[in-house]
Amino acid sequence: MKIDLENRDYTLIIDKSGSMAKRDCEGGISRWDVMQETTFALASKCEGFCPDGITIYTFSSKFRRYDNVTASKVEQVFMNDDPSGRTNMAEVLQDALESYFQRKENGQAKLGGETILVVTDGQADNPQAVIKTIIEATRRIDRDEELAISFIQIGADAEATRYLKTLDDDLQSAEAKFDIVNTITINEIESEGISLKEVLIRAITD
């Protein structure tokens, strides 16, 4: 089913744990710098069908939320944050999902639902809590396309790759009502020879 891009909300959740400062990306730049370039490209793309901007979270031990982010506001988001801390993914994902369900209850959510992109370079500190949060969310939606969560790996952490594949492949056997998760690992990105920017744009438009 083709998604109606204009009738959907978009949230980007960005890992800003300490390891995101690692300079192992093409050209010797950091994972964090790659994320700034990629976020700008994504926000620019989304403005074409979502002119009020997207929601952005940055997270490590704690999270920060930015609403209605357009391309012109991306630089400010990254000026406010630097990589540090751990990978407390469950808490930020819970906040993003609860925000959607509250807007839905209040009649403020777009009818097409919501797409959430999570870019991370490591395994969550609380992996079982992330799984529980997603499973509970599947039980609160009416159709599988209402919510889409894509986990996209940046950096080459093998443990993170295994964990993210578990989120993609094993949640329905753990009693998730719908399969709403898609994972794109670093191995898949490299095998296709595409950039992180292309991966994120594909994740919202496919």
Domains of the chain are 5-205 (3.40.50.410)
Instruction: Give the global pTM.
Output: 0.92
Q: What is the DSSP letter of 21?
A: G
Q: Are strands 54-59 and 63-69 parallel, antiparallel or unpaired?
A: antiparallel
Token couple for 202: 């594909």
Residues 9-40 as b or e (16 or more Cβ within 10 Å = b):
bbbbbbbbbebbeeeebeeeebbbbbbbbbbb
- Rg value, the chain, Cα: 16
Q: What angle do CA 37, 96, 6 make, to 5 degrees?
A: 65
Rounded CA gap, 202 and 114, in Å? 15
Predicted local confidence at residue 85, as pLDDT: 93
The pLDDT assigned to 1 comes to 45
Return the DSSP state at 154: -
pLDDT of residue 3: 57
d(CA 181, CA 163): 13
pLDDT number for residue 4: 66
Q: List the alpha helices (DSSP H) in 65-171.
A: 74-79, 89-105, 127-138, 158-169
Of 17, 59, 14, nearest to 39 (Cα)?
Answer: 14
Q: What stretches in the chain show pLDDT beneath 70? A: 1-5, 206
Find residue 119's DSSP bridge partners: 14, 152
Q: In which residue are the tokens 């959510």 written?
A: 109
